Chains A and B, each alone.
Chain A
């Protein structure tokens, strides 16, 4: 069966520190992968998506970057966090039959 793993579940980081959030999927190959962010009181915003290894599309300009070093691994990073980076980050992949599957999310608080 297809599963998606995302960690950590919660994270508190100081302003200016680096960030690395990891997402891995199992039970599928060559999935389309996505990073979404949900800021407090707002909806979900697509940050990045990837249709294959090394292929990253950015949807909005920001302080974050994404990488896909392996077929089933998608990483969200920042060199220096800002207060405005706080939010709930969700990784997702899409299957033609099942549709979207979301990870359990990482709640990031930048202090």
Chain B
């Protein structure tokens, strides 16, 4: 079945460092891919998405490119801030019922 694998955390960075969180997927067909963010004490929020191969999703300085050849959707940010500290989830849209398959989440901690 469809699945998503994220790099294990926690990831600890200093402010202004470059961030990469790896995400790879296994799916039949051509799923949409998503990154969600969960700030402490809050629910999930959509960070960015891509619906087809080679699409680049971007938001708040974060980017991810849908790579069909490597089945990946890595999240990147050039300069992280303390306020980016959160848990990040990679997900794919499975089938036509709108189900999301989530990765296990990666905790990011940014230190000043």
The one of B42, B46, B89, B100 that contacts A46, using a Cβ cutoff of 8 Å: B100
18 A-B pairs whose Cβ atoms sit less than 8 Å apart in the complex = A34-B98, A34-B100, A42-B105, A43-B89, A43-B103, A43-B105, A44-B44, A44-B91, A44-B102, A90-B43, A92-B44, A99-B49, A100-B34, A100-B100, A102-B43, A103-B43, A105-B42, A105-B43
In contact, A43 and B97 (Cβ under 8 angstroms): no
**Chain B residues touching A, majority SS:** strand
Q: Please indicate the chain B residues that have their CB under 8 angstroms from the CB of A92 in the complex.
A: 44
In contact, B97 and A32 (Cβ under 8 angstroms): yes
In contact, B99 and A34 (Cβ under 8 angstroms): yes
Q: Is the CB of B104 closer than 8 A to any CB of chain A? A: yes
Measured CB to CB, the residues of A under 8 A from B are 32, 34, 36, 38, 42-46, 49, 51, 57, 59, 90, 92, 94, 99-100, 102-105
Q: Please indicate the chain A residues that have their CB under 8 angstroms from the CB of B46 in the complex.
A: 99-100
CB contact under 8 A between A90 and B49, given known A42-B104, A46-B99: no
In contact, A102 and B97 (Cβ under 8 angstroms): no
In contact, B97 and A51 (Cβ under 8 angstroms): yes
Q: How many residues in B have their beta carbons less than 8 Å from beta carbons of A?
A: 20
In contact, A43 and B43 (Cβ under 8 angstroms): no
**Chain A residues touching B, majority SS:** strand
Q: Is the CB of B83 closer than 8 A to any CB of chain A? A: no
Considering the complex, which residues of chain B in the window 9-67 have a beta carbon less than 8 Å from any beta carbon of chain A?
Answer: 34, 36, 42-46, 49
Taken together as a complex, chains A and B put the C-alpha atoms of A102 and B89 apart, in Å, by 13
Q: Please indicate the chain A residues that have their CB under 8 angstroms from the CB of B101 in the complex.
A: 46
Q: Please indicate the chain A residues that have their CB under 8 angstroms from the CB of B104 in the complex.
A: 42-43
Taken together as a complex, chains A and B put the C-alpha atoms of A104 and B99 apart, in Å, by 19
**Nearest Cβ on chain A to B70's Cβ, whole angstroms:** 21
Taken together as a complex, chains A and B put the C-alpha atoms of A4 and B21 apart, in Å, by 29
**Nearest Cβ on chain B to A8's Cβ, whole angstroms:** 14
**Nearest Cβ on chain A to B78's Cβ, whole angstroms:** 25
Q: Which A-chain residue is minimally distant from B94 (CB atoms)?
A: A46
In contact, A49 and B98 (Cβ under 8 angstroms): yes
**Nearest Cβ on chain A to B46's Cβ, whole angstroms:** 6
